[in-house]
Amino acid sequence: MNEASAAAALPDVRDPPGGPHVQGSLLKLTIGAIGIVFGDIGTSPLYAFRETFGGHHHFQLPVDRLHIFGVLSLIFWSMMIVVTLKYVIILMRADNKGEGGSLALLALISRKTEDAKWGKTIILLGVFACALFYGDSMITPAVSVLSAVEGLVVVQSSLQPFVIPIAVGILLGLFMIQRHGTAAVGAMFGPVILVYFLTLAVLGLISITGDPGVVTALNPLWAVRFFMTEQFHAFVSLGSVVLAVTGAEALYADMGHFGRRPIKAGWLFLVLPALMINYLGQGALMLAHPHSVQNPFFMLAPDWFRLPLVFIATAATVIASQAVISGAFSVTQQAIHLGYVPRVRIAHTSAHAQSQIYIPSINYALMVMVIVLVLVFRNSSNLTAAYGIAVTGAMFIDTCLLAVVLFALWKWNRAISIPLLILFFLVDAGYFSANLLKVPSGGWFPLMIGFIAFTFLTTWAKGRQLLARQLKRGEIPPELFIKSATNSAVRVPGTAIFMTSQRDGVPHALLHNLKHNKVLHERSIFLKVAIEDVPNVDLERQVEVEELGEGFYRIVLRFGFMQDMNVPEALGRISCCGFPFKMMETSFFLSRQTPLASKVRGMAIWREKLFAWMMRNAESPMEFFSLPPNRVVEMGSQIKI
């Protein structure tokens, strides 16, 4: 089924233009998308075809026409089903105000499923997909850069001892420049990757001219014959074939940066043709020269061009790694705002692009783990044994979430949606189960990282719920408090803002201040910052002011999970009820709770202690909400959860 006929068979769903910050011509956005979005999947030809024939598994497929054509057919139809049909044509239609990705999709469908019996299961699946992404973001830079630098061995075998030091040096440099932002480098990404994809296509075409019959490998019957002949070995090879589509989830996750149409155009008109031409070229080369199975990508090039190809491929892998690192920053920011990760310091590296952020703690954690992976696994072939299981797990979960979208949100005709879902589940289950065979030889690593991240994410979310429940028990109705406090406390000049996580009740910081200082400011404000499950909140909806009387006000500030939460800036836009604010006459009172583990029914003791540790190490609300440091007062308390 081609793209046009597949789209015509689908129900009419709104075609999102992208996020509100997506601006520019289709050509400009497409070139930008090529530079950022397709780096991961674009570097797969460096290792995917090679690993299928001689990688981590304990056998080698024969290098003959049946097996080469069978693998090429599997790669092509995997790209068509997983990338083109599932992600580009269908899943990218499921946007949350223009944003994509597992967390954005989870936020979109959680409103429809929160009352359903299986709603919590769907939410946990979405969180686990987010956790798996962290494992993927560690392996991708390591395997991509290492596989590119290994091209030096093809140029000159004596350079083998220098491969790991050079790869480590490149990766260290990549992580160290993150704090400067990607604005300047980003302008170069599109042209560099464009040159890379054109190089893939040209090298592939030159090789295909030697054996034009290799194009017939696109016939799905070759994949069927391959499975009928090899059976178990063909199934095991799926663990390497899937490397050709790793990065497909990035098309959906980065949709908010460029919009659906530029990504779709880049995939259909450049990336997909270039990748398949190169894979077909590698197949033709291996038919003519079976010994090239050791590194068919670099052996496609003539001797004089192999060193330049190493530089081009290395630049492409650095860009692919940059995209994954930036993705880890973006996912962490979304997880913080949705309540799954504690507050951490987030630096914005561009005055114009809101999505360009830098998170030091995530950056250095990734750097350490990536370097450890390179030093432990030593070569890209060993690393590919660990690669794929996190990606296929996330893809399988995306299909589960897609099923909810088709039935609960879009109300698609079952005659269309059920066959599509069966196809997607069969493909995803096949790839995931084949990758499970990699667990003993390295696949345990991304699973371990995924389960650790999942434990942290769910512990933080559950701990916040338990803490909020305990705080709610001691709430005092605002009307009762105002009547009693105004008659007994001394009023002092100025404005006091008491930040609270509760929608109702009196902030605990105010109660502590009154208890210890026995004064009330002439204007007291209960301030709640609400993070909505949309990427951006319009300015006219961002502020809600309610006058409670006697100089008391309740203000709710609403932000989207992709927005920078600058509280003073948002307060500065209020002009009603005796405002605006004068920051030199305003004090912010924060309540810092210290949770204490107890045997009260909630979480296991070890998880409560973990939550308490996370609370202690979370970034201060003062920095997170951009509050002026010299105007902040913190009031502490201990609470059993």
Q: Where are the domains of the chain?
A: 25-442, 469-640
Ranges of residues in the chain with a pLDDT under 50 are: 1-22, 184
pLDDT of residue 634: 84
> Half-sphere exposure of 66 toward its Cβ, with a 13 Å CA cutoff?
10
A 10 A CB-CB count for 329 gives: 22
- DSSP H or E run through 593: strand 586-596
pLDDT of residue 135: 86
* Cα(252)–Cα(164) distance, integer angstroms: 33
Give yes or no for a contact between 322 and 333, defined as CB atoms under 8 angstroms apart: no
pLDDT of residue 21: 46
- Which residues are CB-neighbours of 451 under 8 A, at least 6 positions away? 131
pLDDT of residue 20: 43
Return the structure tokens found at 245: 């589509």
A 10 A CB-CB count for 1 gives: 13
Quote the distance between the C-alpha of residue 335 and its chain's center: 10
Integer angstrom CA distances of residue 28 from 16, 22, 54, 500 = 18, 11, 40, 44
Place of tokens 């196809």: 423
CATH of domain 25-442: 1.20.1740.10
